[in-house]
């Protein structure tokens, strides 16, 4: 019997906590070659993404990947980040969250899995899409 990693469950939990508390969830990700973002966003081989409801669209957090569409320099890009590439998830305003330990072996497996992704995986991901209702707030 194999044990599932707790990492995706913790990522979802901190994400939900951020939204419930009115904070902005951010993830810190280890940069990898298949992550097609401009090099100017990568610092110390890491990149930080704002994954709040206002910043991204089509956010999916499942046990294998975090997937979303975001804009970079005005151009929309669909990103698929292996769960093992996530180094931390935190609330920007209070700098609280979780930092994960290095999982070198798991990172290599996840990177090769993203290279070998096919249409079946994409359809599976779309079926697991998480849909959030929009929230209204009063701005004075």
Q: Is residue 136 part of a domain?
A: no
Q: Please identify which residue in the block is written with the tokens 């089509």.
A: 58
Alpha-carbon span 14 to 16, nearest angstrom = 5
Q: What is the pTM of this model?
A: 0.69
Segments forming the whole domain that contains residue 120: 7-127
Q: What is the pLDDT along the chain (140 residues), one digit of tens a residue?
A: 677 889 999 999 999 999 999 999 999 998 887 777 777 778 888 999 999 999 999 999 999 999 999 888 888 889 999 999 999 999 999 999 999 987 554 444 544 444 444 444 444 444 444 455 666 677 77
Backbone angles phi, psi at 38, to 5 degrees: -65, 140
Q: Is residue 23 part of a domain?
A: yes
Backbone angles phi, psi at 22, to 5 degrees: 80, 20
Q: Is residue 39 part of a domain?
A: yes
Alpha-carbon span 53 to 59, nearest angstrom = 8
Alpha-carbon span 130 to 69, nearest angstrom = 13
Q: Is residue 31 part of a domain?
A: yes
Q: For the chain, how big is the Rg over CA atoms in Å?
A: 15
Q: Is residue 116 part of a domain?
A: yes
Q: Is residue 115 part of a domain?
A: yes
Q: Which H or E run includes 26?
A: strand 25-30
Q: Is residue 49 part of a domain?
A: yes
Task: Give the CATH number of the domain where residue 67 resides.
Answer: 2.30.30.220
- Mapping DSSP to helix (H, G, I), strand (E, B) and coil, where does residue 87 land? strand
Cα separation of the two ends of the chain: 55
| Number of domains within the chain | 1
Q: Is residue 71 part of a domain?
A: yes
Alpha-carbon span 125 to 114, nearest angstrom = 13
């Amino acid at each position: 019997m194999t044990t599932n990693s707790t990492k995706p469950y913790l990522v979802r939990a901190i994400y939900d906590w951020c939204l419930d508390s009115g904070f902005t969830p951010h993830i810190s990700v280890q940069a990898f070659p298949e992550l097609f973002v401009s090099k100017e966003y990568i610092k110390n081989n890491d990149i930080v993404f704002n994954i709040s409801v206002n910043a991204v669209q089509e956010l999916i957090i499942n046990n294998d990947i975090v997937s979303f569409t975001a804009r970079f320099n005005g151009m929309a890009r669909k990103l698929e980040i292996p769960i093992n590439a996530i180094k931390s998830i935190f609330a920007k305003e209070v700098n609280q969250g979780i930092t994960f330990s290095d999982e070198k072996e798991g990172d290599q497996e996840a990177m090769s899995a993203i290279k070998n992704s096919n249409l079946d995986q994409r359809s599976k991901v779309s079926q697991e899409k998480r849909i959030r209702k929009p929230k209204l707030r009063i701005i004075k």
